[in-house]
Chains A and B, each alone.
Chain A
Amino acid sequence: MSSASLILAIAVLGVTGLGFFAARWGRADLENLEQWALGGRNFGTIVSWFLLGGDLYTAYTFIAVPALIYGIGALGFFAVPYAIIAYPVALIVLGRFWSVARRRGYVTSADFVRDRYGDRALEIAIALTGVVAAMPYIALQLVGMRAVFAQFGALGAFGSIPALTVAFLLVAAYTYTSGLRAPALIAFVKDVLIYVTVIAAIVVIPARLGGWANVFTVAEGALARRPHPSSVFLTPPQYFTYASMAFGNALSLFIYPHSITSVLAARSRGVIRRNAALLPIYSLLLGLLALLGYCAVAAGITSKDSTNIVPLLFARFFPDWFAGIAASAVVIGALVPAAIMCIGASNLFASNVFREFSSERPSIETRVAKTLTVAICAFALLFIFFVPVPYAIDFQLLGGALMLQIFPAFVLGLWTRWFHAKALLAGWACGLVTSCAMAWASGFTSNYTLHAFGGSLTGLIALYALAINLLVSAILTIALRAVRVGGGVDRTTAADFA
């Protein structure tokens, strides 16, 4: 057994122990949904910083962003403006959502929508969107883990199926037992390992390749000679694409169920506001890591599957024991968000589909949510075993477009009750259909090319669909009001949002 695999084994077993130990943290009654799913809504600034960082910057992110740069050049760097402007959005939206959620006892975004619009169908629509968007995201965490396991003889055996199964059984078991406290505790380990790995990579790898100037010169030449040439700079037609990818993804980042779960676990509104200013530190890490994609090009690393680029780069430039640390960082980095995504999706199903939102929170909800966590882990495993990786990525991109379609009901709903519930439902449905049709027509990429007025504009599908969604919601609202169709009851008051 190499020292790398030994370190990886110790790290995974260690955090599993932590995951089970987390059940004793705070001595809570874990039969209560707010205790199991939200850690008792009691996390302070530091715990929330690690938890949200561990949740939003997933192992898949750290593998996929450099892989994207490696594959398409400058356009892949959109992840950086995305990870910048997500935080002004977060400050404005989440502070307000946290307040009303605490006052009215919400555990999910759909809880708020039910309370605000009094419409059961809209509640189910919002909840199912979150569940559907979360599933391929969970599956992609397994892709990140598999890329690492593939580097190790024994773990990579049989397409990594045994190793992935064991890893996800462990996730399911400690998440079932400890709820959100498990990933919150493990996030400390994950984030420290990720910081150590990325900083080491940024210091060591470019220097070994003759410095950044050389990396960029070599990469520019190599990208230009490819069958599908790209560049380290954008072409003018890519300007709009780049901006729309950054903007659209930034709007949807915090409405994913796993983001909402971590946000609602915060002790106070101040914790969320402070974290909006502190979390960008992770974005700097992500940006520096993205540049490793060019290092891989410059180092002449090739792989059939570009998700292997980062593990291959680590294996080439790090000594064996440090490659073990880096591998642990990626694997644990997958376990944390996977657990939170399972909890977020289970909450939506238990609280808004299986039952209707009520602030009483009967214990049956917790039992359903806990059982579902295990079912979702099992489903994600099956998904990754039977669906080829490129399709899993397609589903995740489509999931992102679907996720943004709850924006009018959920985010705009935090400020206005002007929209009619049925109009929002129709807008949501049109947004869904548009997303699927555009994704289909563009061969499942995240962008769609509109041809109009003799020109063409390639932009993020999620945003085009959101435009249709808003248009339909607004027109139908005016129409329904004109014919005086009554809406549901709004149980929130202005004071709840303060």
Chain B
Amino acid sequence: MRRLWYALLVLPFVGTLVPPLYNHARPALFGLPFFYWYQLAWVPATAALLGIVVLLTRRPDDV
């Protein structure tokens, strides 16, 4: 059942590979159009998801 956590990793693919979702100017952040800050925001989000999956699927021999 622990393997089900890997399904979380589908999210970055859906979030970043469908450009119509984010190809807009607004809302802007710090002057960056949505297109840019949205994709940049996926970097820490993906790192966090990966961190969660790595922890939850850890085996005793993973040192």
Chain A contact residues, CB within 8 Å of chain B: 74, 77, 80-81, 83-85, 87-88, 91-92, 206, 211-216, 232-234, 236, 238-239, 242-243, 246-247, 268-270, 273-274, 276-278, 280-281, 283-284, 287-288, 291
Contact = CB atoms under 8 A, between A and B. Distances in A.
Interface in B34-58: 35-36, 39-40, 42-44, 46-47, 49-51, 53-54, 58
Contact of B54 (A83, A214, A277): A277
B14 to A, nearest CB: 10
Nearest to A215: B31
B19 A234 contact: yes
A60 to B, nearest CB: 21
A110 B54 CA distance: 27
B35 A92 contact: no
Contact of B13 (A88, A242, A280): A88
Contact of A277 (B13, B17, B30, B50): B50
Contacts of A206: 31
Given A81-B39, A273-B58, 8 more contacts: A74-B23, A88-B46, A91-B50, A91-B54, A233-B24, A234-B19, A270-B62, A280-B43
A161 B49 CA distance: 46
From B19, B39, B54, B58, name the one whose CB has the most chain A CB atoms within 10 angstroms.
B19
B54 A273 contact: yes
A288 B33 contact: no
A70 B49 CA distance: 32
Contact of A246 (B17, B20, B24, B31): B17
A246 to B, nearest CB: 6
Nearest to A283: B43
From A212, A236, A247, name the one whose CB has the most chain B CB atoms within 10 angstroms.
A212
A206 B50 CA distance: 31
A292 to B, nearest CB: 12
A45 B29 CA distance: 34
A284 B28 CA distance: 18
Contacts of B46: 84-85, 87-88, 280
B35 to A, nearest CB: 6
Interface string B9-33: 1001100111110011100101111
20 contacts: A74-B35, A77-B35, A81-B16, A84-B43, A85-B46, A88-B46, A88-B49, A91-B9, A92-B6, A233-B23, A234-B19, A236-B20, A238-B19, A243-B18, A246-B16, A268-B62, A277-B47, A280-B46, A280-B47, A288-B40
A87 B43 CA distance: 10
B43 A80 contact: yes
Contact of B47 (A81, A268, A281): A281
B40 A85 contact: no
A443 B15 CA distance: 32
A274 B42 CA distance: 18
A252 B56 CA distance: 27
Given A212-B31, A270-B62, A88 B12 contact: yes
Nearest to A291: B36
B63 A268 contact: yes
B29 to A, nearest CB: 9
Nearest to B13: A85
Contacts of B44: 280, 284
Contact of B17 (A214, A247, A276): A247
Contacts of A281: 47
